[in-house]
Structure 1
Amino acid sequence: MAGAEQVQDRSFPLSAGILFGLGLGGFFDGIVLHQVLQWHHMLSSWYPINSIPNLELNTLWDGIFHSTTYVFVVIGLFILWRTAHRRHLYWSNKLLAGTLLIGWGFFNVVEGVIDHQFLGVHHVNELMPREQWIYWDVGFLAWGLAMLVAGWLLVRSGRAEQATARTVRA
């Protein structure tokens, strides 16, 4: 059992990569879609950006959203640092990239379903005619699902490489 615990201690912390992916997905959404392209803001379907008070409210909620994604990145960094600092860590580009994609894809799917479809607080591209919003929303969900699948495949491949490396060392 001690051998299994030792191997487990060397495993790549998947939760760190997933949290990084959640945070990076949120940063991309907030920076690129909210700020640079200005396609939408956090509550722009409920409070359209047609007055200063609505812009202030949306900016506040964009900031709360960014703060939450920042917390995901900080926690992911803490987990990775704690794991790597205490013992030798099996470093894997596939596991890191895969978990980042899983986290980012999970962000897109959850945010797309809850914010775009269920609550309707905003849509991906509100600069387009309203009847086209659904296409952008579905594209955002498809992008998220594609990242989830690609991430899962990379994690699966990375775990196989990790198992092979353990066998070679044993």
Structure 2
Amino acid sequence: MAKIAPCLWFDGDAHDAAAFYAATFPDSRIDAVHRAPADYPDGREGAVLTVEFTVCGMAFVGLNGGPHFRFNEAVSFQVYTDDQAETDRYWNAIVGNGGSESQCSWCKDRWGLSWQIVPRALTAALSHPDKAAAKRAFQAMMAMKKIDVAAIEAAVKGGA
């Protein structure tokens, strides 16, 4: 078990979320499922209480705590991608499984958790030593939902 792990609050479907994340991202898996030893305010004895899982090598705990708290954009997970195909794969998995698109690499999964699917090419473009190239890349990104790597690279080179 990791020394520290973020605990994500779900409304009864922590196991489904963990299974989706494990199937979507590399180096990901469900590590343990713990059932409630007794009834609790939002569940019954024997129901899944917590799920320990790993996403991209990082440990998490999913808690089935009930409907009292929801995710918001104050916390998001950035996933760095190596190319457009990987960007498309993760974006389409999240959005296509009941999630929603947002702006500038952000999307939400069906549980309301925010993700940023960030191509490494975008990070490089935004920190380009030529400030004008970085600005063009930034302006191109601001008009996007899912990041288009070719359009970012064209912006760096001076294209539209």
For the superposition of Structure 1 and Structure 2, which TM-score range results when normalised by the shorter chain? Answer: under 0.3
Q: Which has the higher contact order (CA 8 A, sep 6+)?
A: 1
TM-score of the pair, normalised by structure 1: 0.20
TM-score of the pair, normalised by structure 2: 0.21
Higher strand share: 2
